[in-house]
Homo-oligomer: A and B are copies of this chain.
Amino acid sequence: KRQGFPEVIYGEGKTIEQIEPIMEKLIEKHGKVMVTRLDKEKGESLVSTFPLAHYDYTARILLYGKPENYYGGEVMVVCAGTSDLFVAEEAAITAEWMGCKVKRLYDVGVAGIDRLLAFREEITNADVLIVIAGMEGALPSVIGGLVQRPVIAVPTSVGYGAHLQGITPLLAMLSSCSSGMSVVNIDNGFGAAYQAALILKLVSEGVNHEIVIS
């Protein structure tokens, strides 16, 4: 049995000359590769070199190949609005590329609680939730209170002043009064999706240990 997902390239600060050979090696070895944090110019240039690759402008991700395994269950990616879309799509596309079904819920925010609660059924039906928020980062606390499933919270760098480039929602999420929630780095949609996929992978593969009645 394979040991997990083929490696992913972190594109930030890498030149095309550095990325191309790594891509080639990974494609050869795994038949697939993903590059995150890749700007438009580099993305388009790499697509012309690797015509089977696809570049997503919102997520700033380059994709090549398909998932090796598909996992049962559904990852729900929730965010409040258009400003956090780049993080939400980084999460959604990563999770899909790793073999997860993804449901996007992108038009809800805590200041409009009725609109959020209109989706209560979809929310409580999700198997794993990635909840993305900039500003004060309150959304995961509210959603965490609605569900009995793991919530992975992602603070974003969207805000100004006292928001401190995302440090504020990061600290707020870590201080959340909602149980069952954990947090990843600012804007790290990729990391949240990776853990969500590991959870669905565990469900698909089953646990190593029997139930115990102590």
Which residues of A are in contact with B by a Cβ distance under 8 Å? 3-5, 8, 10, 12-14, 18, 70-74, 80, 82-83, 96, 101, 109-113, 117, 125-128, 135-138, 141-142, 144-146, 148-150, 152, 155, 157-188, 190-192, 194-195, 198-204, 206-214
A166 to B168, CA, bound (A): 12
Contact among B112, B170, B181, B208 with A127 in the assembled complex (CB-CB below 8 Å):
B208
Asked if residues B174 and A171 are in contact (CB atoms below 8 Å), the reply is no
Count the copies: 8
Asked if residues A209 and B161 are in contact (CB atoms below 8 Å), the reply is no
User: Which residues of the other chain, B, contact A142 by a CB distance below 8 angstroms?
Assistant: 110-111, 113, 138, 142
A66 to B37, CA, bound (A): 41
User: Which residues of the other chain, B, contact A159 by a CB distance below 8 angstroms?
Assistant: 175
* Smallest beta-carbon distance A153→chain B, Å: 8
**5 A–B pairs (Cβ distance < 8 Å), ordered by A:** A96-B214, A111-B177, A111-B178, A162-B186, A170-B174
A149 to B14, CA, bound (A): 29
Nearest B residue to A70, CB-CB: B211
Contact among B83, B190, B199, B212 with A202 in the assembled complex (CB-CB below 8 Å):
B199
Asked if residues A4 and B148 are in contact (CB atoms below 8 Å), the reply is yes
Nearest B residue to A150, CB-CB: B198
User: Which residues of the other chain, B, contact A187 by a CB distance below 8 angstroms?
Assistant: 160-161
Most chain B CB within a 10 A radius of its CB, from A82, A160, A161: A161
User: Which residues of the other chain, B, contact A199 by a CB distance below 8 angstroms?
Assistant: 150, 199, 202
Contact among B12, B125, B202, B210 with A160 in the assembled complex (CB-CB below 8 Å):
B12
User: Which residues of the other chain, B, contact A202 by a CB distance below 8 angstroms?
Assistant: 73, 127-128, 149-150, 199, 203
Asked if residues A73 and B208 are in contact (CB atoms below 8 Å), the reply is yes
A137 to B190, CA, bound (A): 20
A10 to B109, CA, bound (A): 15
Asked if residues B172 and A185 are in contact (CB atoms below 8 Å), the reply is no
Most chain B CB within a 10 A radius of its CB, from A125, A172, A179, A213: A179
